[in-house]
């Protein structure tokens, strides 16, 4: 995925989805910084259910005023 981002734009939200599936929350702040329009679904997207209990995830929701 890192190689692909060197050649074309890949939304950080999409990368965050992949990493969330691996129980890794590190890419979500990148999606926030990129102002990804997909973040409007963050609080509802079931693909993030496994990282939802993490305090960093909850803090991101607060910053987004969800």
Cα–Cα distance between 4 and 32 in angstroms, integer?
20
Phi first, then psi: what are they for 19, rounded to 5°? -70, -35
> What does the chain come to in residues?
66
Which tokens is 59 given?
A: 């803090």
The domain in which residue 42 lies consists of: 2-63
Alpha-carbon separation of residue 54 from 7, 16, 23, 61 (angstroms): 32, 14, 10, 11
Query: What mean pLDDT is reported for the chain?
Result: 89
What per-residue confidence (pLDDT) applies to 2?
75
- State the pLDDT at residue 44: 92
Global pTM reads 0.76
Number of domains in the chain: 1
- What tens-digit pLDDT sequence spans the chain (66 residues)? 778 888 999 889 999 999 899 988 788 899 999 999 999 999 899 999 999 999 999 999 999 988
């Amino acid at each position: 995925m890192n190689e692909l981002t060197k050649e074309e734009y890949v939304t950080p939200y999409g990368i965050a989805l992949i990493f969330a599936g691996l129980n890794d929350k590190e890419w979500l702040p990148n999606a926030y910084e990129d102002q990804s329009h997909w973040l409007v679904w963050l609080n509802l997207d079931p693909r993030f259910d496994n990282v939802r209990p993490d305090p960093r995830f909850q803090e991101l929701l607060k910053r987004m005023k969800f």
